[in-house]
Amino acid sequence: MAYIPLIARVSSLPPLPESVLKIESLYASNDPDIDDVVKIIEGDPALTADILVKVNAPFYGFSKKIVNILQAVTLFGATQIRSIVLSSSINRAFDIDLSPYNISTLEFSKISMIQSELAFQWYMGINIETARKLTPIAFLMETGKIFIAKEIIQEDKTALFLSDSLKYKDISYVENIYTSMTTAQINAIIFEHLNLNETFYETMKYLDIEKEIPKNMQTIEDIIIALRVVRAAINIQDQLNDYSLKNAFKILEANSLDVEAFKRVVKRVKRKHFE
């Protein structure tokens, strides 16, 4: 049974800005022209300012400051900028406090970024079109935690939630104990409420389901499995360590995916962000 306060919180989310809807319409017709993306973003001063703040975050590691949107899109690519645009538009609707997960906003942003980077680099070697669909979803995959954290704080259960998270080492299980929902389930409601492409919310509906994906969902099965692999490898508790990678490899092997190819991408990402 869905947790009513969470549903109400999602229902109160304002619609996405017109600029973001325009950008999404460009992506709906496949690979958009970079100039069109830049023009739309620059027409929204608030979005422009927020993106420039985000792309200049220290964890991206650029030696020189990014000063305009064209420079940002050129450096990051249209797919990654789409991810940042969507994340920025959703997150600026409310204050973020992730203390129930014992993580800062900056750390949360970094994990989301590395999840999407791993997804993109890995799947570019498998299927470029799927990689483009997968990347923004991976970037937004932890969004529901912002909503869960608000409810945990409001109910004054932060210490209990933290304790159980350490005890069970399965954050989705703990989320379900406290709210009868998981991050992925909340994401499905958020993404549908915001009228994002159906791939966004359909993948979230099935991300935590252990049983076989229904036949009518098999067109997005690759994305669902890829998200499970990425989430196992990088999450708010473990990032590309022995424990998380062991779990990721199990999913790869169970779905007959190339473990060695994934390891090569992991090595590059670890070298860039953790060494």
Four-way CATH pick for 4-273: 1.10.10.10, 3.40.50.12780, 2.60.120.310, 1.10.3210.10: 1.10.3210.10
- Find out whether 184 and 208 touch, Cβ atoms under 8 Å: yes
Res 78: pLDDT: 85
Write the pLDDT tens digit of every residue in 38-83: 999 999 999 999 899 989 988 787 888 999 999 999 988 888 899 9
User: Looking at residues 142-170, what average pLDDT do you find?
Assistant: 93
User: Looking at residues 94-108, what average pLDDT do you find?
Assistant: 91
| Whether residue 93 has pLDDT greater than 80 | no
Res 1: pLDDT: 44
Write the pLDDT tens digit of every residue in 224-247: 999 999 999 999 999 999 999 999
**Domain assignments of the chain as residue spans, ordered by start:** 4-273
Q: Kindly report the average pLDDT of the chain as a whole number.
A: 90
| φ/ψ of residue 239, rounded to 5 | -130, 105
Q: Please tell me the distance from the alpha carbon of residue 133 to that of residue 210, in angstroms, as a whole number.
A: 22
Res 211: pLDDT: 67
Work out whether the CA dihedral 218, 235, 165, 199 comes out positive or negative.
Answer: negative
User: Looking at residues 153-174, what average pLDDT do you find?
Assistant: 93
Write the pLDDT tens digit of every residue in 190-227: 999 999 989 999 999 999 987 677 777 767 999 999 99
Res 274: pLDDT: 84
Contacts (Cβ under 8 Å, ≥6 apart) of 37? 23, 26, 73, 78, 81, 82
Q: What is the 3-class SS of 76-145, one letter each residue?
A: HCHHHHHHHHHHHHHHCCCCCCCHHHCCCHHHHHHHHHHHHHHHHHHHHCCCHHHHHHHHHHHHCCCCHH
* pTM score of the predicted model: 0.90
| Whether residue 159 has pLDDT greater than 90 | yes
